[in-house]
Amino acid sequence: MPELNGALLLPARMPPAFGVATDRAFCQWVARLAVRSLYAELALYPKPGLVSLVDNGSHEDMTAATFVRSLFALRRYFLRIAEAGIADAPFHELKRLGIEAEARMLRATGGINTHRGAIFCLGLLCAAIGRCRASGNALAPAAIQGALLRHWGPALGAHSADLATPSHGTAALLRYAASGAREEGARGFPSVFAVGLPALRRTLAAGRGTRCARVDALFALMAHVSDTNVYHRGGPDGALAVRRQARAFVARGGTAAPDWEARALACHRSFVASRLSPGGAADLLGAVCFVHEACMTQAARGGYD
């Protein structure tokens, strides 16, 4: 897969100095980091039911190459929505950028939904990071979440499902009262900040490295999130199965357990057998990696100044 050796694998350069660099250079850094984080999610293995560089999980219609095409199509979107954040654009402007990005994604993938959740979640986080820069706040999880809720929280709360254009998410809401991406957004992505990110950081602090940290964050998210993709494919029984298996993995210590990899692979095989795919949790893992890398890169150089 030649694309994988291209720009996506280049390290995101350090953020430019706060007082010196242009807003554009800052937003380019944010966009590279967003794409890199989504690539990190794609590359992670094992990942129950999900597409990776190793296999297609529970999916017949998409491969890693489909995701890479989608990522290339989204680079400009993340840049533009970070710029919109700096400019304190109203929510309807962010929404317009999001809808355009969805259309670009679908063109790039031949109509397959690879990253709708990520366009929503990482897009809003890019805008919030732009707000942090505009107001001179250092990048920290609480600052990013606070900026998101302060500037777009009320509009996100009112961003209710359009029942005239049904989606798998609205179907899950109507049939099972399952919350999904919209509710996550309206509450400032608590699954990212209060579930996935702490799990990632605990594993890193324990010295088990990035791969284990991402696996632990994914299982923590699967154990917690109301994932409309899981409801769409497996109904409430499927959602219960995902939560139970993820909770069992976490309860055994996650990647601290010596046999964690065999257990994660068993979970992967079980999800594939039932056609389950926690796509919402996968998008949220991309967001966790994004917030972590943005805050760490900035901290590593002692702030922007």
Ligand X SMILES: Nc1ncnc2[nH]cnc12
Residues in contact with ligand X by the rule CB under 6 A = 41-42, 50-51, 57, 59, 277, 279, 282-283
Name the closest residue to ligand LTSJ6FE6 (Cβ). 169
Measured distance CA(10)–CA(250) in Å, rounded? 32
What does R_g of the chain's alpha carbons equal in angstroms?
A: 18
Is there binding between residue 131 and ligand LTSJ6FE6 (CB under 6 A)?
Answer: no
Is there binding between residue 187 and ligand LTSJ6FE6 (CB under 6 A)?
Answer: no
Helices (H), the chain: 23-43, 64-86, 91-109, 116-134, 141-157, 168-176, 181-186, 190, 197-205, 209-224, 228-251, 260-273, 279-300
Q: Tokens for 226, please give them.
A: 């109301």
Phi, psi of 254 (to 5 degrees): 60, -135
Closest to 121 measured CA to CA, from 304, 297, 295, 279 = 279
Residue 284 binding: pick among ligand X, ligand LTSJ6FE6, none (C-beta 5-8 Å cut-off by kind): ligand LTSJ6FE6
Is there binding between residue 56 and ligand LTSJ6FE6 (CB under 6 A)?
Answer: no
Is there binding between residue 149 and ligand LTSJ6FE6 (CB under 6 A)?
Answer: no
- Interface with ligand LTSJ6FE6 (CB under 6 A), residue total 35
Residue 184 binding: pick among ligand LTSJ6FE6, ligand X, none (C-beta 5-8 Å cut-off by kind): ligand LTSJ6FE6
57: left (phi over 0), alpha (psi -120 to 50) or beta: left
CA angle 302/29/63 to nearest 5° reads: 125
Query: Binding segment for ligand LTSJ6FE6 among 28-36, 113-121, 247-255, 295-303 (CB under 6 A)?
Result: 113-121
Closest to 208 measured CA to CA, from 260, 255, 263, 252 = 255
Is there binding between residue 228 and ligand LTSJ6FE6 (CB under 6 A)?
Answer: yes
Residue 42 binding: pick among ligand X, ligand LTSJ6FE6, none (C-beta 5-8 Å cut-off by kind): ligand X
Residues binding ligand LTSJ6FE6 (CB under 6 A): 94-95, 98-99, 113-118, 120-121, 123-124, 161, 167-170, 180-182, 184, 225-229, 232-233, 277, 279-280, 283-284
